[in-house]
Amino acid sequence: MIPTPYLLFLGDAPDQLAAKVAQGIKDWRPENAVGQLRLPGCGADVGLADTTLQQAWDAGARTLVIGVANRGGIISQAWKDVLIEALGMGFDLASGLHNLLRDENDLVAAAHVAGQTLHDVRIPSVAYPIANGIKRSGKRCLAIGTDCSVGKMYTGLAIDAEMRKRDMKSSFRPTGQTGILITGGGVPLDAVVADFMAGAVEYLTPDNDEDHWDHIEGQGSLYHVSYSGVTMALIHGGQPDALVLCHEPTRTHMRGLPTYDLPSLEDLRDTALPIARVANPNCEIVGISVNTQHLSEEEAAKYLADVEARMGLPTVDPFRHGAGRLVDALCAL
Amino acid sequence: MIPTPYLLFLGDAPDQLAAKVAQGIKDWRPENAVGQLRLPGCGADVGLADTTLQQAWDAGARTLVIGVANRGGIISQAWKDVLIEALGMGFDLASGLHNLLRDENDLVAAAHVAGQTLHDVRIPSVAYPIANGIKRSGKRCLAIGTDCSVGKMYTGLAIDAEMRKRDMKSSFRPTGQTGILITGGGVPLDAVVADFMAGAVEYLTPDNDEDHWDHIEGQGSLYHVSYSGVTMALIHGGQPDALVLCHEPTRTHMRGLPTYDLPSLEDLRDTALPIARVANPNCEIVGISVNTQHLSEEEAAKYLADVEARMGLPTVDPFRHGAGRLVDALCAL
């Protein structure tokens, strides 16, 4: 686990989109962020107080999280003075960038001298077991998509937030770098060695109270030929009790695969449910989460109503309308 | 690629089963093996001439292949003198053991001095790409199983051998360590990082002549929760034109998963074909390969006839009856 709370480093982010990791932390775990640190020329603002390293330290922050991604995912030389100063003061550093902290000699040396840890959340830090398939206690929900990047992480976080609001027992279980930085822990599943993928998901979602819900962050899609193996391992390692189908209705082809059409929600349902029932015979599809960001309010309402009528399942955009109906459906299981 | 031909090192194998890698090479690629080298007390014999390092070198051998597995997959101290002498003479070493050649300091030093290579075929040696899903020329066949270890590798090798006998263009494409040692190259898929699994299969089976068949070695099973993600990546990365269903009729539960029943061949067919058609809309199931080793000749004949009548597909045990009917079915596609 990464020590919390964090100071969010926005660096010289050219625009708001470049700071989406920091924004995710601020939106979903505001209690994990004491402030933001921006360099001259920074074009992003996640709505936290601008905070110096010393102020953040005094406020209890123990990790400086690189909440910015620049082109190519590299660690900019312009950031180095602040990063090295932070290590010297006793902060850990955490990053989800492709360019690893541990590959920067100056950061490695400064961390060594200071006795601090560099958290590269893209790299597994655990020797995960091979999955044993044994039934675990507690409840699990997995969001699966017609395509990659259709809102699976957002859906899981929104359901988790709604359950917490209702004082239910609930955990979000990240499987990608943004989710790991938001919560401070998880499994970077796309970087796990093939034989251990399903075992890593079992490790991530252990036995729990019978009324506790794990919301497992989805990855890829059963219909995305580049990443479908990762999705399969999530379904079989996660042994979910409930699936939420996720969709983005304006996508014209599978992400990055111009000759591949998206499946229908019916296709996804009919493919995923028998596969999920191999690991958990009681698995049900409880609802549909549609990312309507490219539709007007009116178009979105009509689209959601049409899908709900067609599929016979609660259909919402959790960003626009909240995840309440999905949580109602999970509670009714 | 591992330099061929090989000298097969059987070491102090306690019995024939311990030498099954060497036996596989001798059975499927006899032209790759100039002889066997046994230490005192060796209880295995793969039917090749006992050959010294010098005799093997003179016969053209350029790699000493560790064709024996002992308990725990370790590299025995008793083997070291021969291994180090071989390196000094100019042999490479190749091994599929869990205990890596590269983790033995004395072997690393001897290889360095001699300028030879240690081939640990369990470890990927290539930075595989992410799969792009683009349709490739040539034909591909993949064996998929109701469970792990039901004869998928054997089925692929037998179909490849039959095609070669008929002077067809055919390659066996290994995805596991035994297959890699047999042919001298391949992808150790279970050791590839999740995001690159399907890309590794694309890399393994590139564009080829339209009348060329790749026989991709299967791994795991869509119904085996520990490894199903690897199987999924094989199906979507391999974009097979043809699937062969593999089954072992006396198995009482999924291998290593005592509470999991095997799927029926109908279940496997109905699950696998729509998944395969995502990557290749023309994919067909062409036949069934049954491992009847635990059935009598009579029981086997009856079982195969029953399955063939039930499923309407050529159903054979390629070990007992050859792969001719499966090749006929592939030719008829």
Give the model's pLDDT for residue B236: 98
- Which ranges in B136-238 belong to alpha helices (H)? 152-165, 177-183, 197-204, 228-238
- Which ranges in B225-264 belong to alpha helices (H)? 228-238
Concatenated DSSP letters of B197-218 = HHHHHHHHS----TTEEEEEPP
Helix (H) or strand (E) holding B20: helix B20-28
Q: What are the tens digits of pLDDT across the range A149-184?
A: 999 999 999 999 999 999 999 999 999 999 999 999
Taking an 8 Å cut-off on Cβ atoms, the answer to whether A232 and B227 are in contact is: no
Token pair belonging to A240: 């979910």
- The overall average pLDDT reported for chain B is 96
Interface A-B, measured as beta-carbon pairs within 8 A, has a size of 128
Q: What are the tens digits of pLDDT across the range A133-147?
A: 999 999 999 999 999
User: What order do you get walking across the sheet with B315-316 strand by strand?
Assistant: B169-173, B212-216, B139-145, B242-247, B284-290, B315-316
Taking each helix axis from N to C terminus, what angle separates B80-89 and B105-114, rounded to the nearest 10 degrees? 20
> Counting Cβ atoms within 10 Å, is residue A125 exposed (0-12), middle (13-18) or buried (19+)?
exposed
CA distances from A80 to A77, A92, A122, B110 (A): 5, 14, 20, 42
Residue A249 has, within 13 A of its CA and on its CB side, a CA count of 20
Taking each helix axis from N to C terminus, what angle separates B197-204 and A228-238, rounded to the nearest 10 degrees? 140
Q: What are the tens digits of pLDDT across the range B42-73?
A: 999 999 999 999 999 999 999 999 999 877 78
Give me the tens of pLDDT residue by residue for chain B, a chain 333 residues long. Answer: 899 999 999 999 999 989 999 999 999 999 999 999 999 999 999 999 999 999 999 999 999 999 998 777 889 999 999 999 999 999 999 999 989 999 999 999 999 999 999 999 999 989 999 999 999 999 999 999 999 999 999 999 999 999 999 999 999 999 999 999 999 999 999 999 999 999 999 999 999 999 999 999 999 999 999 999 999 999 999 999 999 999 999 999 999 999 999 999 999 999 999 999 999 999 999 999 999 999 999 999 999 999 999 999 999 999 999 999 999 999 999
* Cβ contacts of B146 on chain A, cutoff 8 Å: none
Token pair belonging to B292: 């009847």
Give the model's pLDDT for residue A36: 98
pLDDT classification of A73: cutoffs 50, 70, 90: confident
What's chain B's Rg over C-alpha atoms?
A: 20
Give the model's pLDDT for residue A70: 77
- Rounded to a whole number of angstroms, the distance from the CA of A191 to the nearest CA of chain B is 5
B98 phi, psi to nearest 5 deg: -60, -45
**Preferred mutation among A232, A255, A261 to probe B, highest tally of B CBs within 10 A:** A232
- Rounded to a whole number of angstroms, the distance from the CA of B312 to the nearest CA of chain A is 24
Give the model's pLDDT for residue A162: 98
The answer to whether the beta carbons of residues A93 and A83 sit under 8 Å apart is yes
Taking an 8 Å cut-off on Cβ atoms, the answer to whether B225 and A231 are in contact is: no
> Counting Cβ atoms within 10 Å, is residue A305 exposed (0-12), middle (13-18) or buried (19+)?
exposed
Q: What are the tens digits of pLDDT across the range A320-331?
A: 999 999 999 999
Chain A positions contacting chain B at CB under 8 Å are: 130-135, 189-195, 197-199, 222-223, 225-233, 236-237, 239, 254, 256-257, 259-260, 263, 271, 274-275, 278-279
Token pair belonging to B62: 């350029």
Taking an 8 Å cut-off on Cβ atoms, the answer to whether B278 and A259 are in contact is: no
The percentage of chain A sitting over the pLDDT mark of 90, rounded to a whole number, equals 97
- Looking at chain B, which residue has its C-alpha nearest residue A261? B278
Mean per-residue pLDDT for A51-56? 98
For residue A67, give every residue at least 6 positions away whose Cβ sits within 8 Å of its Cβ, in sequence order, or none.
A8, A9, A10, A19, A21, A22, A23, A25, A36, A46, A181
> Nearest by CB to B225, which of A194, A257, A279?
A279
- Looking at chain A, which residue has its C-alpha nearest residue B231? A229
Token pair belonging to B131: 């799969």
* Cβ contacts of B201 on chain A, cutoff 8 Å: none
Mean per-residue pLDDT for A279-307? 98
- Residue A8 Cα to chain centre, angstroms: 17
Cut 0.80: pTM above it: yes
Taking an 8 Å cut-off on Cβ atoms, the answer to whether B194 and A229 are in contact is: yes
Give the model's pLDDT for residue B235: 98
* Cβ contacts of B193 on chain A, cutoff 8 Å: 190-194
* Cβ contacts of B272 on chain A, cutoff 8 Å: none
Q: What is the DSSP letter of B10?
A: E
> Nearest by CB to A233, which of B130, B228, B257?
B228
Taking an 8 Å cut-off on Cβ atoms, the answer to whether A227 and B198 are in contact is: yes
Location of structure tokens 């505001």: A30
**Preferred mutation among A134, A144, A225, A257 to probe B, highest tally of B CBs within 10 A:** A225
In single-letter form, the type of residue at position A208 comes to: N
Taking an 8 Å cut-off on Cβ atoms, the answer to whether A193 and B194 are in contact is: yes
* Cβ contacts of B237 on chain A, cutoff 8 Å: 225
Give the model's pLDDT for residue B69: 85
Taking an 8 Å cut-off on Cβ atoms, the answer to whether A259 and B133 are in contact is: yes
Cα torsion at B244, B193, A71, A75 (round to 10°)? 180
Give the model's pLDDT for residue A24: 94
Q: Is the ipTM of this complex over 0.85?
A: yes
- Residue B256 Cα to chain centre, angstroms: 20
The answer to whether the beta carbons of residues B202 and B237 sit under 8 Å apart is yes
* Cβ contacts of B202 on chain A, cutoff 8 Å: none
The 3-class secondary structure across A132-191, one letter per residue, is: CCCCCCCEEEEEEECCCCCCHHHHHHHHHHHHHHCCCEEEEECCCHHHHHHHCCCCCHHH
How far apart are alpha carbons A206 and A237 in whole angstroms?
11
- Looking at chain A, which residue has its C-alpha nearest residue B263? A278
Give the model's pLDDT for residue B72: 78
- Rounded to a whole number of angstroms, the distance from the CA of B1 to the nearest CA of chain A is 22
Other CB atoms within 10 Å distance of the CB of residue A77: 9
Taking an 8 Å cut-off on Cβ atoms, the answer to whether B133 and A260 are in contact is: yes
- The overall average pLDDT reported for chain A is 96
How far apart are alpha carbons A70 and A74 in whole angstroms?
7
- Rounded to a whole number of angstroms, the distance from the CA of B244 to the nearest CA of chain A is 20
- Rounded to a whole number of angstroms, the distance from the CA of B253 to the nearest CA of chain A is 13
The answer to whether the beta carbons of residues A189 and A236 sit under 8 Å apart is no
Chain B positions contacting chain A at CB under 8 Å are: 130-135, 189-195, 197-199, 222-223, 225-233, 236-237, 239, 254, 256-257, 259-260, 263, 271, 274-275, 278-279
The answer to whether the beta carbons of residues B83 and B54 sit under 8 Å apart is no
Taking an 8 Å cut-off on Cβ atoms, the answer to whether B260 and A274 are in contact is: no
Question: Does residue A266 have a pLDDT over 90?
Answer: yes
* Cβ contacts of A230 on chain B, cutoff 8 Å: 194-195, 229
Q: What are the tens digits of pLDDT across the range B91-147?
A: 999 999 989 999 999 999 999 999 999 999 999 989 999 999 999 999 999 999 999
- Rounded to a whole number of angstroms, the distance from the CA of A213 to the nearest CA of chain B is 21
Give the model's pLDDT for residue A288: 98
Mean per-residue pLDDT for A70-74? 80
Give the model's pLDDT for residue B71: 75
Give the model's pLDDT for residue B149: 92
* Cβ contacts of A140 on chain B, cutoff 8 Å: none
How far apart are alpha carbons A87 and A137 in whole angstroms?
41
Give the model's pLDDT for residue B321: 92
> Nearest by CB to B198, which of A225, A239, A256?
A225
Other CB atoms within 10 Å distance of the CB of residue A309: 9
* Cβ contacts of B222 on chain A, cutoff 8 Å: 232, 275
In single-letter form, the type of residue at position A130 comes to: I
- Rounded to a whole number of angstroms, the distance from the CA of B67 to the nearest CA of chain A is 23
3-state class (DSSP) for residue A6: strand
Taking an 8 Å cut-off on Cβ atoms, the answer to whether A194 and B233 are in contact is: yes
Strand partners of residue A7: A35, A64
* Cβ contacts of B194 on chain A, cutoff 8 Å: 189-194, 197, 229-230, 233
Strands, E, within B162-313: which ranges?
A: 169-173, 212-216, 242-247, 284-290
Give the model's pLDDT for residue A72: 78
